[in-house]
């Protein structure tokens, strides 16, 4: 792809405010305000306990993030040998919310951070890390033990700096994280300065929530993980602040969470998503219930079909089978940083066993693994002529992108089509029954652009359909048009067009960040003219 076209198709979707904010963010770095902290609002407290979080501090100054363990010590906060995302997690201070950390250890870590991270210097002063740490320090103060005077002063300095580095250049979930921190700090402190922070946070929520929380309840970046993170954020703000009307958003997000929770209680992994980062669906429901926000869904035992027409997702369920189908776009055009080229992909479960799996997300750093997991070939869908349906590049960029051209839901059936291949439309139809799942793909000319192809010789295209199996499942070809899956003592049969070439290749799956497991991938391929049809059935034996 021409590099100029790639950049043009990436940048043309940015909002004017993003352009101006990017310029200001890059050229202007505010001078930290080290003046005395405002008075604490001593009446401020959370009404209900905040949830306990995953264990990431292992005592003896040892940390465990993204499935990587590191020993603390001088220089760890900005250690260049550690990955940037790992360091971000270190700076978040989520570990203050776990049960095993002692007050003495927590105070020591806070003091170490203040000493080794002077204002406006290092990873800890980036707006997103500031936002999460501000909230976690305040939670610690009101729930566990009061912060030292030094920490309270640092908290004020951090909030002042954040208030002048709000992430309008990125927007999306980062902007909501900024708003949450400003609300927490605005309530924690008192006086005109604190009131200004609080009002700014409320203003951002008022502007962003109607757009970011879709009418079907899903967060508009279309990541189940970020949906869960933002749901927890709204529950936290609801817990401490009555000035923002969040109940309707929370109710929609909870109902949506039910639809995207897998049979084993985990999340499905479309776009950038991994388990073990956000609170589990069951924990979010429990937290909501503690705040007297009742939901009819039970994320411990999820069943039934559901349509999420604004996000594009659909859940099909029948008998022992559950499928999650992606019939949506890649998310907001001006912020597709967490998007994969996974349009018309799906995950398939038999009871509580994952059979056909999304590749997941192992890391955010640009490179081979990141590129493979974001590509269309890294998902359970069709690839045309070796291209991805959306042109994902670098770590978080998207140039040309697939758009949904049609979509319909009928309970046990779901279909959608996209135009990511230009003059060619990919239409996929899913039908679930107690016997299994049937998938029909139709590759045809785009009716709107078909006049371009008239009176021209039909072109051959390489058409590949991929099925990525969950770790531990072995696939073998058993005959012309047949394959068998071995999952423990259970067997499954896959039937596909006998005329297609079959290969079992190596893929990868990341259920959590930092873990890459090798998997079997069934690749069905053909060189053919358009139109072309592929029908695949998956059943238990």
- At 367-413, the pLDDT tens digits run 999 999 999 999 999 999 999 999 999 999 999 999 999 999 998 99
Based on the domain organization, do 95 and 154 belong to the same domain? yes
What pLDDT is recorded for position 296?
56
Please name which of 186, 240, 231, 189 lies closest in space to residue 213, comparing C-alpha atoms.
231
Shared domain check, 227 and 176? no
Compute how many other C-beta atoms are within 10 angstroms of the C-beta atom of residue 450: 13
Question: 12 in a domain, yes or no?
Answer: no
Residue 18 falls within a domain, yes or no? no
- Helix, strand, coil tally for the chain in percent (to 5): 35, 25, 40
The three-point CA angle 191-50-153 to 5° equals 35
Q: Report, as an integer, the average pLDDT of 330-341.
A: 96
Q: Is the pLDDT of residue 300 over 60?
A: no
Percent residues over pLDDT 70 in the chain:
96
* Domain assignment present for 309: no
Mean pLDDT of 245-269: 94
Asked whether residue 292 falls in the same domain as residue 357, the answer is: no
Whether 399 and 512 map to the same domain: the answer is: yes
Looking at the domain assignment, is residue 311 inside a domain?
Answer: no
Least confident of 73-77, 136-140, 472-476: 73-77
Please check whether residue 357 is in contact with residue 347, taking contact to mean a CB–CB distance below 8 angstroms.
yes
Can you give the CATH number for the domain in which 150 is found? Answer: 1.50.10.100
Whether 117 maps to a domain, the answer reads yes
Domain endpoint, select from 181, 212, 243: 212
Residue that finishes a domain, picked among 212, 238, 256: 212
- pLDDT the model gives residue 349: 97
Q: What is the largest CA-CA distance in the chain?
A: 79
| CA 444 to each of CA 388, 426, 458, 528: distance values in angstroms, whole numbers, following the listed order | 17, 7, 12, 11
Confidence of residue 489 (pLDDT cuts 50, 70, 90): confident
Domain containing 237 equals 218-302
Nearest to 100 by CA among 59, 137, 142, 141: 59
Residue 16 within a domain: no
The DSSP symbol for 147 reads P
In this structure, are 290 and 350 located in the same domain?
no
Task: Please write the tens of the pLDDT for every residue from 138-180.
Answer: 999 999 999 999 999 999 999 999 999 999 999 999 999 999 9
Residue 519, SS3 per DSSP: strand
Is residue 456 pLDDT above 80, yes or no? no
Whole-number Å distance between alpha carbons of 103 and 116:
20
b/e 488-503 (16+ beta carbons within 10 angstroms → b): eeeebebbbbeebebe
Are 514 and 374 in the same domain? yes
**Domain identity same for 96 and 161:** yes
Query: Do 194 and 239 fall within a single domain?
Result: no
Give the domain-ending residue among 196, 212, 228. Answer: 212
3-state secondary structure (DSSP) of residue 164:
coil
CA 219/CA 213 separation, integer angstroms: 5
Burial of 481 (0-12, 13-18, 19+ CB in 10 A): middle
Question: Could you tell me if 77 and 182 lie in one domain?
Answer: yes
At how many degrees (to 10) do helices 224-240 and 281-290 cross?
20
Q: Are residues 358 and 483 in the same domain?
A: yes
Q: 440 and 363 in one domain?
A: yes
Asked if residue 471 is part of any domain, the answer here is yes
Question: Binning pLDDT at 50, 70 and 90, where does residue 299 land?
Answer: very low
Q: Which of 398, 428, 403 is nearest to 413 (CA)?
A: 428
Read off the pLDDT band of 77 (50, 70, 90). very high
Helix, strand, or coil (residue 411): coil
Distance (Å, whole) CA 305 – CA 240: 35
DSSP 273-290: --TTSSPPHHHHHHHHHH
Angle between helical axes of 84-92 and 127-143 (0-180°, round to 10): 30
Stated pTM of the model: 0.95
Q: Is the pLDDT of residue 297 over 60?
A: no
The pLDDT value given to residue 303: 61
Please name which of 167, 284, 175, 282 lies closest in space to residue 221, comparing C-alpha atoms: 175
Q: What's the length of the chain?
A: 541
Q: Looking at the structure, do residues 263 and 232 belong to the same domain, yes or no?
A: yes
Return d(Cα 414, Cα 425) in angstroms, integer.
Answer: 17
Backbone conformation region of residue 319, classed left if phi is above 0, alpha if psi is from -120 to 50, else beta: left
Q: What's the pLDDT at 43?
A: 87
CB atoms within 10 A of CB 459: 11
Strand segments (E) across 131-189: none
Query: How far, in Å, CA of 408 to CA of 420, rounded?
Result: 18
Look at the chain and report how many structural domains it folds into: 3
User: Mean of the per-residue pLDDT values for the chain?
Assistant: 94
The enclosing domain of 361 has a CATH number of 2.70.98.70
Residue 10 lies in a domain: no
Q: Residues 265-293: what's their mean pLDDT?
A: 95
What pLDDT was estimated at residue 458?
79
Label residue 108 left, alpha or beta by phi (over 0 means left) and psi (-120 to 50 means alpha): alpha
């Amino acid at each position: 792809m021409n590099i100029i076209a790639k950049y043009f198709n990436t940048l043309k979707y940015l909002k004017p405010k993003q352009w101006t904010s990017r310029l200001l963010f890059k050229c202007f770095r505010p001078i930290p305000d080290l003046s005395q902290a405002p008075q604490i609002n001593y009446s401020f407290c959370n009404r209900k306990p905040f949830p306990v979080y995953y264990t990431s501090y292992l005592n003896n100054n040892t940390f465990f993030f993204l499935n990587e363990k590191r020993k603390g010590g001088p220089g760890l906060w900005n250690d260049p040998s550690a990955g940037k995302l790992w360091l971000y997690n270190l700076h978040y201070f989520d570990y203050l919310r776990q049960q095993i950390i002692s007050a003495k250890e927590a105070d020591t870590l806070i003091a170490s951070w203040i000493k080794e991270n002077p204002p406006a210097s290092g990873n800890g002063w980036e707006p997103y890390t500031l936002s999460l740490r501000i909230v976690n320090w305040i939670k610690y103060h009101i729930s566990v033990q009061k912060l030292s005077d030094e920490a309270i002063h640092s908290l004020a300095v951090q909030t002042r700096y954040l208030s002048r580095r709000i992430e309008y250049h990125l927007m999306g979930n980062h902007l909501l994280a900024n708003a949450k921190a400003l609300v927490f700090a605005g309530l924690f402190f008192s006086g005109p300065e604190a009131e200004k922070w609080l009002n700014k946070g409320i203003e951002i929520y008022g502007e962003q929530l109607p757009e970011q929380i879709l009418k079907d309840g899903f967060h508009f970046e279309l990541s189940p993980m970020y949906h869960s993170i933002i749901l927890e954020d709204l529950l936290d703000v609801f817990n401490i602040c009555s000035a923002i009307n969040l109940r309707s958003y929370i109710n929609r997000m909870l109902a949506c969470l039910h639809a995207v929770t897998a049979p084993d209680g985990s999340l499905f992994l479309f776009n950038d998503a991994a388990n073990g980062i956000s609170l589990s669906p069951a924990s979010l429901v429990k937290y909501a219930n503690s705040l007297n926000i009742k939901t009819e869904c039970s994320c411990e035992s999820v069943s039934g079909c559901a349509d999420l027409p604004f996000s594009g997702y659909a859940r099909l369920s029948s008998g022992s089978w559950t499928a999650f189908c992606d019939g949506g776009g890649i998310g907001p055009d001006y912020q597709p940083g967490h998007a994969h080229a996974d349009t018309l992909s799906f995950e398939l479960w038999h009871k509580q066993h994952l059979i056909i799996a999304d590749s997941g997300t192992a890391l955010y750093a640009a490179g081979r693994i990141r590129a493979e997991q974001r590509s269309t070939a890294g998902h359970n869908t069709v690839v045309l002529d070796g291209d991805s349906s959306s042109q994902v590049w670098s770590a978080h960029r998207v140039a040309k992108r697939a758009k949904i051209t049609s979509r319909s839901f009928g309970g046990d059936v779901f279909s959608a089509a996209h135009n990511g291949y230009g003059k060619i439309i990919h239409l996929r139809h899913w039908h679930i029954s107690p016997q299994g799942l049937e998938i029909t793909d139709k590759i045809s000319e785009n009716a709107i652009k078909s006049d371009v192809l008239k009176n021209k010789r039909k072109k051959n295209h390489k058409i590949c359909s991929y099925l990525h199996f969950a770790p531990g499942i072995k696939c073998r070809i058993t005959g012309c048009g047949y394959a068998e899956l071995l999952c423990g003592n259970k067997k499954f049969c896959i039937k596909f067009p006998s005329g297609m070439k079959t290969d079992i290749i190596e893929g990868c799956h990341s259920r959590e960040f930092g873990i890459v497991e090798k998997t079997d991938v069934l690749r069905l391929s053909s060189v053919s003219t358009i139109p072309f049809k592929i029908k695949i059935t998956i059943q238990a034996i």
